[in-house]
Chain A
Amino acid sequence: MPQLVAKGVTKRFGGLVAVRDLDLEIEPSSIVSVIGPNGAGKTTLFNCIAGWYKIDDGKIEFEGQAIDKLRRDQISRLGIARTYQNIRLFAGMSAIENVLVGQHHFLKTGWVGAVLRTPAVRVEEEKAHEEALRLLQFVGIRGHGRSQASELPYGDQRRLEIARALSTQPRLLLLDEPTAGMNPAETRKMTEFIRRLRDELGITILLIEHEMRVVMDISERITVLDYGEKIAEGTPREIQTNPRVIEAYLGRGAAQAGTTVSDATNEAAASEA
């Protein structure tokens, strides 16, 4: 049974349809990528799943439960976590505190308990800190725990954001361009890391990514969006040779010339740089 099911999801902004009649099914513990040109509605889709936008039509179910009418905190508690395209850490808080916020709803301390700092509260805090340190270790930035989040190097900020997402103990993790702005070596490490998330923790990964090498390398399935509509879906091999996808990326001529998606996007990336 799929873990996440979206049916006929539509999101409009005024006259603009950002996501149109989209169906999506994600199997547990898989790695799925969403690709598409800029403005194709990828991030909008994430925002719909994570409860940032209320969808105009359709429904979204997570593990059999409808989530499209829930608030973000409720969705988070069901086991969906996310990261952001442009990193959104709590800049003024320390790294470890960023991670601790994610544990908020597992902790029970009420305000009276917090003021009196009862033994039970102390134990709970201790455990939470240990857990946070473990997560920092897992993403590889242990030792930076007390640095202010905004002062970490860029790559570590991305890792911290993932650690923070993991602290909510998700079963589905939405990663919005996790390798954006990274050099090839960092990108390779991040790719490995994403695979480990799935292999070691069994977390389902839904990924938006522009770097085609990453996408083709780790995805089990790929969904392609263009102008808010799904134009293709399949394994990396199927997508790479799908003429509609190539057309969406490079226009009609390229599709006939027999280019693959990887070439196309890498060319695009090169010209951007």
Chain B
Amino acid sequence: MDDTRIRFGDVPWGAVIRVGLIGAAVAIFLCLVGIVPVFHTRPLIKDVISLGQTSVVLALLATGLVTARTADMRGTLSVLPGAVAGAIAGAGLTALVILGEVINVRAVFLNASPLLYGILTFGSGIAGSWIAIVIGAVLGAAGSVGARLPTSSRRPLTTFVLTLLMGGLFAGILRTAMLSTPLAGLGRLLFAPLGLTIVGAIVAVIAFVGASELFHYTRVRDRVNGMAPAQQRLVTWPLLAIAAFAVLMLPHALGPFVAQVIALVALYVLMGLGLNITLGLAGLLDLGFVAFFAVGAYTVALLTGTSEFGIADWPFWAAIPFAVLFAMVFGAILGLPILGIRGDYLAIATLGFGEIIRILAGSDLLSPWLGGPHGILNVPKPIAVQPTHFLAGPNQIYYIAIACAVLIAFVAWRLRGSRIGRAWLSIREDEDVAEALGVNLVQTKILAYVLGAGFAGLGGGIFASLVGSIFSSSIQLFVSINVVAIVVVGGMGSIPGAVLGALFLIGVPELFREFSEYRFLFYGAALILMMLYRPEGLMPTRFAAREVHLESQELGADTVVAAPTEST
């Protein structure tokens, strides 16, 4: 028997066809839902490939990759299953084009437009509809090769793809930033207003793939871990200082639009860290975060506002503690009766609270006090400065939000390591057993809930000041969903996860208009995929790390057995 030759009959063709059909379904979905045509307007590499085309390319590559995993064939013709599955997926697109020629698909699906067909056939009309099959076969084969590569050669490929994606996305922003500096010429060379230039793509790929190979993460980590503690500090502290400096300079480097966006990102980092306590540590799914956000926002607006609704002319700094306090009181009043109910009902009840607050804020009943849909205007900034000042506009909000986020992270970290944090985690893991071990459920939950509410109020107060106004239309369910998505995608209970989650889930859609149309589609997919594959999140907490030093102090193994000490 010849092991190196693939035999036609050995291939599990049923599975291959199934993967191919799923690939076709995904590709057609990307087209009809509008991602392909809408993202086609944003080039990744100018005049070479658009983001819309990239999405199809990735789907076809993934088809090949999954096929190779499903039908694990070796030998010279081992790419055959991947190519077939890829061709089937591509054929789905061909079928879409032909179908579009025969009947008016657009009567139902808005995106089944000539523009879409043009993208799929490279402008050659129905005659070019077969191109998709060929491309599908090629990419499917490529994907299945990729799946079989050893990790060492797959890593640079992954870096390659990620570099192009990131570079293409942020090219415009980087270009704008560089144009006002002596690097303007370089900026024009590497970056187009939208997407990388060809030169830029080559430079970026060489730089990043090279760098990631030279300083590979695990190798660096192993090296650092191998050092003596004093040496480690010598490496980590300067790095931390550089990171801190970069975080502080960020709003000045990239222009006012980006400054506004990252102020919002910082605000969501803050709120994500707040919900991280409620949801991440204590496992309470709070879908009514926006209710406390609203309490905070309206408190600040009313207490500082110079409009007709203002009831006091306080400075921001005097109002914000009250925003937090009211939100906490509110959280206690709502939380006390509902925290006794079971977890999934809690989610619905809090969702109900959020909706009640949203409707009330916009109702005629409360509009004499809260301004209803016309809102409360003229909420002052915390610090009054000239427009050209270092702290002008959103920048001061950014710094305030970052400071608050650091504070919350600190609080969360300290609590996590205490009796209270352990009680929260135990409730999240199994609240019945936790109670049987002497943990008072309502008391423990209410603390998490009220702290979360307080941080939501803080976020709301800062938001009112950032925007300079508060309208009932700002009080929406999506505020709650944003924050929940940040916590879940980042990893429940993880502090860096919340930061990362906010950057991706808030920053990217705010920076790029195309994304903001599809942000909730993406959130939905992300929530499902996270639960299916990584329920512990992208950056899960390492629970055990802290105990290391205690265990190392252990006594000898055969110490006399000691009875538990009696409590006094």
Touch test A–B (CB under 8 Å): yes
Q: How far is the CA of A167 from the CA of B430 in the complex (A)?
A: 18
> B-facing mask of A72-98, CB < 8 A → 1, else 0?
110111000110100010111110110
Q: Which residues of B contact A93 (CB under 8 A)?
A: 422, 425-426, 429, 543
The 4 A-B residue pairs with the shortest CB-CB distance in the complex, in nearest-first order? A114-B418, A146-B547, A90-B429, A76-B438
Q: Is A266 an interface residue (CB 8 A)?
A: no
B437 touches A104 (CB 8 A): yes
A contact residues vs B (CB 8 Å cutoff): 50-52, 71-73, 75-77, 81-82, 84, 88, 90-94, 96-97, 100-107, 109, 111, 114-117, 121, 125, 128-129, 131, 133-135, 137-138, 142-143, 145-148, 164-169, 200-201
A-B contact pairs, 27 of them (CB 8 A): A51-B436, A52-B432, A73-B435, A73-B437, A84-B433, A91-B429, A92-B536, A93-B422, A93-B543, A96-B550, A97-B422, A101-B426, A102-B438, A104-B423, A105-B438, A105-B440, A114-B417, A114-B421, A115-B414, A128-B419, A137-B561, A142-B557, A143-B554, A146-B544, A146-B548, A146-B551, A168-B438
Q: How far is the CA of A72 from the CA of B440 in the complex (A)?
A: 9
Q: Is B559 an interface residue (CB 8 A)?
A: yes
Q: Is B567 an interface residue (CB 8 A)?
A: yes
Partner of A97 from the list B425, B433, B441, B564 (CB cut-off 8 Å) is B425
A94 touches B437 (CB 8 A): no
Q: How far is the CA of A146 from the CA of B542 in the complex (A)?
A: 11
Q: Is B565 an interface residue (CB 8 A)?
A: yes
Q: How far is the CA of A96 from the CA of B436 in the complex (A)?
A: 18
Minimum distance in angstroms from A121 CB to a CB of chain B? 7
Q: Which residues of B contact A145 (CB under 8 A)?
A: 547, 550-551
Determine the residue in chain A with the shortest Cβ distance to B439. Answer: A104
Q: How far is the CA of A230 from the CA of B75 in the complex (A)?
A: 69
Partner of B425 from the list A75, A90, A106, A169 (CB cut-off 8 Å) is A90
A200 touches B554 (CB 8 A): no
Q: Is B134 an interface residue (CB 8 A)?
A: no
Q: Which residues of B contact A133 (CB under 8 A)?
A: 550, 554
Given contacts A52-B432, A109-B419, A169-B567, 14 further A-B contacts (CB under 8 A): A73-B435, A73-B438, A94-B547, A101-B437, A101-B439, A107-B419, A109-B420, A114-B418, A114-B419, A134-B564, A135-B564, A137-B561, A138-B561, A147-B544
Q: Which residues of B contact A101 (CB under 8 A)?
A: 422-423, 426, 434, 437, 439
Q: How far is the CA of A131 from the CA of B567 in the complex (A)?
A: 11
Interface centre among A93, A101, A135, by most chain B C-beta atoms within 10 angstroms, is A101
B436 touches A164 (CB 8 A): no
Q: Which residues of B contact A111 (CB under 8 A)?
A: 415, 420, 447, 451
B436 touches A72 (CB 8 A): yes
A73 touches B441 (CB 8 A): yes
CB contact under 8 A between A143 and B543, given known A77-B438, A109-B418: no
Q: Which residues of B contact A84 (CB under 8 A)?
A: 433
Partner of B543 from the list A92, A102, A125, A134 (CB cut-off 8 Å) is A92
CB contact under 8 A between A97 and B543, given known A76-B438, A142-B554: yes
Q: How far is the CA of A63 from the CA of B547 in the complex (A)?
A: 38
Determine the residue in chain B with the shortest Cβ distance to A102. Answer: B437
Q: Which residues of B contact A165 (CB under 8 A)?
A: 437
A115 touches B411 (CB 8 A): yes
Determine the residue in chain B with the shortest Cβ distance to A82. Answer: B436
Minimum distance in angstroms from B94 CB to a CB of chain A? 48
Partner of B433 from the list A88, A114, A128 (CB cut-off 8 Å) is A88
Q: Is B562 an interface residue (CB 8 A)?
A: yes
Minimum distance in angstroms from B541 CB to a CB of chain A? 9
Q: Is B563 an interface residue (CB 8 A)?
A: yes
Q: Which residues of A contact B536 (CB under 8 A)?
A: 92
Determine the residue in chain A with the shortest Cβ distance to B434. Answer: A101
CB contact under 8 A between A106 and B423, given known A84-B433, A111-B447, A146-B551: no
Q: How far is the CA of A50 from the CA of B554 in the complex (A)?
A: 34
B544 touches A167 (CB 8 A): no
A166 touches B564 (CB 8 A): yes
Q: How far is the CA of A137 from the CA of B554 in the complex (A)?
A: 10
Q: How far is the CA of A128 from the CA of B417 in the complex (A)?
A: 12
B550 touches A71 (CB 8 A): no
A131 touches B544 (CB 8 A): no
Q: How far is the CA of A126 from the CA of B485 in the complex (A)?
A: 36
Partner of A200 from the list B415, B426, B544, B561 (CB cut-off 8 Å) is B561
Q: How far is the CA of A90 from the CA of B493 in the complex (A)?
A: 15
Determine the residue in chain A with the shortest Cβ distance to B552. Answer: A146
Q: Which residues of A contact B548 (CB under 8 A)?
A: 146
Minimum distance in angstroms from B419 CB to a CB of chain A? 4
A137 touches B562 (CB 8 A): yes
Determine the residue in chain A with the shortest Cβ distance to B567. Answer: A106
Q: How far is the CA of A72 from the CA of B426 in the complex (A)?
A: 15
Q: How far is the CA of A107 from the CA of B129 in the complex (A)?
A: 71
Q: Which residues of A contact B565 (CB under 8 A)?
A: 131, 134
Minimum distance in angstroms from A210 CB to a CB of chain B? 22
Q: Which residues of A contact B423 (CB under 8 A)?
A: 101, 104
Interface residues of B in 432-477 (CB under 8 A from A): 432-441, 447, 451
Minimum distance in angstroms from B77 CB to a CB of chain A? 42
A114 touches B426 (CB 8 A): no
Minimum distance in angstroms from A200 CB to a CB of chain B? 6
Q: Which residues of A contact B543 (CB under 8 A)?
A: 92-94, 97, 148
Q: Which residues of A contact B559 (CB under 8 A)?
A: 137
B425 touches A92 (CB 8 A): yes
A117 touches B414 (CB 8 A): yes
Minimum distance in angstroms from A4 CB to a CB of chain B? 16
